Amino acid sequence: MRMTTRFLISAGAAFLLATVPFVSREAFAADAPAAASTPRVLSIGGDITEILYDLGQQDKIVAVDTTSQYPADALKDKKSVGYMRALSAEGVLSVNPTLIIASDEAGPPEVVNALKSSGVRYITIEDKPTADGVSAKVRHVGNLLGADDAAQALAAKIESEFATLKAARKEIKTRKKVLFILAIQNGRATVAGAGTAADSIMQLAGADNAAVGVSGYKPVSDEQLTEFAPDAVIVMRRGESDQHKAGQALTLAGLRQSPAAKTDKLIEMDGLYLLGFGPRAPSAARDLMKSIYPEAGQAAAMP
């Protein structure tokens, strides 16, 4: 009895003590009603956060999710509600948002349902990795915050950049085959196939996806890599320490004989910049095009 009770009581007491800082600190901050005039925005989705910053609406953001990596200030200055597919209903409510702008990827569905019934305005933004999808997103987000003019200007700029890009694509005489490698694990490459954001951005940059017959992001064997025979390989840059790993891409057995390896054509780009399909999508596609077709003069015609 003595042993048991002592153990149980001490365990209980220890836990109680551990929660004291939470309870006392929050008790004072609780129940403070949000000022009705300026919306308190929770942005769930890296592209949405990027659009809000571009529209000059960053002061209205109270919290973001962990996919909001750009601009870097977002996760530094704002609270983070965690990964967008693993939200917590009470966690989200605790930042007192009056407007939640979320990607259609946000989840889990039970939490999204609870938030929608919480009385907080919950807006879902459709996420389509296409040129039209980007400007549509910008207009939608701008409209929600009454920043229609800024949104219109930004959307028009994005559209004209995409138009320039389209003209540049027409100049390309021989299209090149490009392979996007998401990760290399145990010497095996995971490549981007059809239906991925990487596939879309390659098309926008005027290149063909070398990973024919693959859909989604899939690990492929060296033998299959030989078949792809890409003219260039794209890898994601993940910071300085990762460079040597990315450099391995062209030394993979399946790529050693490829045109890309022979011409040492390895393109390193930031993941969110390249695949985020936010306002920077046209410039990401343009940068990619420049890297794939450095010899062509068309890049000079770009703004």
Partner 1 sequence: MTIADSKTESAVMIPSRPSRSSVFMALTALLFFMALLSLAIGPTGISLHALPRALAAYLGYTSDSAAERDRLVLIDLRLPRTLLAAFVGAALATSGAMMQGLFRNPLADPGLIGVSSGAALAAIATIVLGHGIAAPLVAPLGIYALPLAAFVGGLITTIILVAIAGRHGQLAVGTLLLAGIAVGALAGSISGFIAYASDDRELRDLTLWSMGSLSGASWQKVFAVTPFAIAIGFVIPRLTRGLNGFLLGEAEAMHLGIDTEQIKRLTIATTAAAVGAAVAVAGVIGFVGLVVPHVMRLISGPDNRIVLPGSALLGATLVMVADMIARMAVRPAELPIGVVLALIGAPVFLHLVLRRGMGGWE
Residues in the site for partner 1, rule: CB under 8 A? 1-5, 7-8, 11-12, 15-16, 19, 22-23, 26-27, 29-31, 33, 63, 66, 79-83, 85-95, 105, 107-111, 113-114, 117-119, 182, 195-196, 216-219
CB of 8 to partner 1, least distance (A): 5
Beta carbon of residue 263, minimum distance to partner 1 (angstroms, whole number): 29
Pick from 236, 258, 231, 262: which is nearest to 247 by CA?
A: 236
> Nearer Cβ to partner 1, position 197 or 261?
197
Query: What is the DSSP code (8-state) at residue 205?
Result: T
> At its nearest, how many Å lie between partner 1 and the CB of residue 118?
5
Q: Which is nearer to partner 1, 8 or 35 (CB)?
A: 8
Minimum Å gap between C-beta 270 and partner 1 is 17
C-alpha 160 chain-centroid distance? 23
Whole-number minimum distance, CB 37 to partner 1, in Å?
16
Identify the residue whose tokens are 């059809």.
194
Q: Of 100 and 261, which has the nearer Cβ to partner 1?
A: 100
Beta carbons of 202 and 233 less than 8 angstroms apart: no
Decide whether 109 or 239 has the Cβ nearer to partner 1.
109
Burial classification of residue 82, based on how many CB atoms lie within 10 Å of its CB (0-12 exposed, 13-18 middle, 19 or more buried): middle
Of 193 and 206, CB closest to partner 1: 193
Residue 123 phi/psi, 5-degree rounding, is -115, 130
Q: Which is nearer to partner 1, 86 or 163 (CB)?
A: 86
DSSP calls for 24-64:
HHHHHHTT-PPPSSS--EEEESHHHHHHHHHTT-GGGEEEE
- Residue 215 DSSP SS3: strand
Tell me the closest approach of the beta carbon of residue 205 to partner 1, in angstroms: 21
Distance, CA of 48 to CA of 139 (rounded, Å):
11
In this complex, which beta carbon is closest to partner 1, that of residue 94 or of residue 248? 94
Instruction: Using DSSP bridges, classify how beta strands 217-220 and 188-192 pair: parallel, antiparallel or unpaired.
Output: antiparallel
- Nearest-angstrom CA–CA distance, 73 and 57: 13
CB of 261 to partner 1, least distance (A): 26
Question: What CA–CA distance (Å, rounded) separates 96 from 299?
Answer: 46
